[in-house]
Amino acid sequence: PPPERKMRAVFGPAPADAFGRQLWELANAIACENTQEILKRIVLNVPRFCNPRGIMRMDFIQNELMQKYGEYGFGDLKSDVADKTHGDLKDFMMALLSDRLDFESQALERAMAGFGTDEATLVTILCTLSEEDIIALQMAYSSRYERSMEQAVLSETSGKFKRVLLLAGCDRVGDAYAKVINSAVAGLGTDCKAVIRLLVTATPEQLDAAREAYSRLFKKDLIKAVTSEWAVSGDFKRIVKALAKRHPANVNDDTEMDYSADVQAMRDAVEGMGTDEGAIIDLLANKSHKQIEEFREAYKIATGELLRERIRNETTGLFESRLFRETLMGLLTPRTEQIAIYLKEAFEGWVSNDDWGLISMLVHRTEEEKVEIRTKYTEHYGADLIQDIRSNCSGDYEDALVACIAPKARTIARGIRTVMSGWFTSTNKTGLMALLTHKDDLMPTLRKEFEKEFKGKTLQGVIKKECAGEFEAALVSLASYTPPTGVAERIAAGDEVAPVAAPLPTSYQTIAPQPAYGAPPPQQAYGAPPAGYPADPNYRPQMQRQDSW
């Protein structure tokens, strides 16, 4: 028969403090390859310990378990778990114990490696990146594989789909806008509409970043490159130059402004004989979108007129510049509303969609902007923006554009559903783990969006159907997690006391050591009575000692 598995490894005496004792128990479980106990102590029972203390699960795992495990001298937790686990559970543990961006870089590599490409994983990761994660993910990829993630995407994708992935997931907003403007002015002709879209809707911070990126990427000054075009002339050239020069230092939304002088200056510019286009440019070019809206309201209160309509009338005529007028109309329209208008115009191209217009107006939007843009689109056109994208686009390009404007949680839910449809490939398993791990703060919303996407089926239920064993238990634990909302704030305010001395969860409790006896006690007190003696009604068989797990 096989040798009996050891229940304890030799790590010396357990530390005296409670948490050290738990780490000692975890180290023993790892040494004995007790995968059930490893899973319980690192994943399943952690929320019951950290949530009442206002600590997020991943923060506890990485900042407490992993760090303290090494500080107590038990070794490196990630390496030890990798040595003692196998198969899907090992892959899951590596995803959980790895840096988030490092594991996402591995998921991207597997999605692009070998025959075919896992487009769903590429879309879900690259089209939902926050601005601060774009370069960090590229550095994580380069650090692991010593090659460029952008070059990998270029070689494994094509067409408009490739363009979306590069601008949304490989370029920061300044780089993306610089490339859009360069495309507008490169070659024969000038796409003035593309220039207007970006100058009207970009914030001063984004425009400043675009100028820096344009100089770095194309060794030219953005303003000179645009204004030197033959199609950019007259008043249109003047307003393009003024808008491109906007700098964050000259715009302060937090400062309360008195617009009475500006209102009078605008009245002087549009009333009487002729129109002072230079004065209009000066009044609008150095204001933020918020300040322009406040200025419009102040003008309406003072004059009873709509500034947008007054300027439209003043700049409409045989000798007036259409491009200049369109730029002014864009500036005098609320920003998210104007983005919605540009998107509708992009669907209504002469022959096909204006793809540069769609992409440039959809990438690098915050979650708040996504909601506002979709709302304004519905208010204006009585249609849903995502539905119109699906009606006018197709394939992976369609999915990428939808991911840029849909809520992040919905895109991840859609990605989970897609990777589950090809469950038996390792790439899809990696994609699934990348989409579920490190999502603690998003998980309650993700569960709701998954039910919408999967027609009422729950995320936990689908995982149970598709997976099995310890891997299933691990994924269900992730999907069931709810972060401790407001606990840390209540503890800091003194409204709630952290359960520092509270009992640990059952799996963290340990059995007190048995007292040492100098000699074995009489057999009659512990075993069954000898034959021929009457049975003892109070006799109970002795329970065999068990470890804390």
pLDDT tens-digit readout, 304-339? 999 999 999 999 886 689 999 999 999 999 999 999
Q: For all residues of the chain together, what is the average pLDDT?
A: 86
Instruction: Judge whether 175 lies within some domain.
Output: no
What's the rounded Cα separation, in Å, for the pair 105 and 140? Answer: 6
DSSP string spanning 324-378? HHHHHHHHTS-HHHHHHHHHHHHHT-SSS--HHHHHHHHSS--HHHHHHHHHHHH
Nearest CA to 199 among 243, 165, 233, 169? 243
Planar angle of CA 306, 308, 314, nearest 5 degrees? 105
Q: How confident is the model at residue 491 (pLDDT cuts 50, 70, 90)?
A: low
Instruction: Judge whether 36 lies within some domain.
Output: yes
pLDDT, tens only, 85-111:
999 899 999 999 999 999 999 999 999
Q: Can you say how many angstroms the Cα of residue 292 is from the centroid of all Cα atoms in its chain?
A: 31
Is residue 548's pLDDT more than 50? no
Instruction: Judge whether 54 lies within some domain.
Output: yes
Instruction: Judge whether 293 lies within some domain.
Output: no
Cα four-point dihedral sign 419, 423, 427, 433: positive
Q: Can you say how many angstroms the Cα of residue 88 is from the centroid of all Cα atoms in its chain?
A: 25
The range of the structural domain enclosing residue 54 comes to 18-85
What's the rounded Cα separation, in Å, for the pair 281 and 500? Answer: 62
459 versus 505: the higher-pLDDT residue is 459
Cα four-point dihedral sign 432, 435, 441, 447: negative
Q: What is the largest CA-CA distance in the chain?
A: 127
Query: Is residue 28 helix, strand or coil?
Result: helix
What's the rounded Cα separation, in Å, for the pair 198 and 177? Answer: 7
Helix crossing, 459-466 with 443-453: angle to 10°? 70
Measure CA of the first residue to CA of the last residue in the chain; give whole Å.
25
Give pLDDT, residue 490.
66
Give pLDDT, residue 495.
62
Instruction: Judge whether 183 lies within some domain.
Output: no
pLDDT, tens only, 404-447:
999 999 999 999 988 887 544 444 778 888 899 999 999 999 99
362 versus 316: the higher-pLDDT residue is 362
Instruction: Judge whether 531 lies within some domain.
Output: no
Instruction: Judge whether 323 lies within some domain.
Output: no
540 versus 305: the higher-pLDDT residue is 305
**Residue 298 contacts by C-beta under 8 Å, 6 or more apart in sequence?**
259, 260, 262, 263
Nearest CA to 160 among 339, 397, 394, 487? 397
Give pLDDT, residue 168.
97
What mean pLDDT comes out for the span 151-155?
95
Nearest CA to 197 among 176, 217, 213, 215? 176
Which DSSP category does 157 fall into? -
Instruction: Judge whether 1 lies within some domain.
Output: no
What's the rounded Cα separation, in Å, for the pair 325 and 317? Answer: 10
**Overall domain count for the chain:** 1
Nearest CA to 151 among 132, 138, 133? 138
**Residue 105 contacts by C-beta under 8 Å, 6 or more apart in sequence?**
137, 140, 141, 144, 145, 149
Q: pTM, whole model, 2 decimals?
A: 0.84
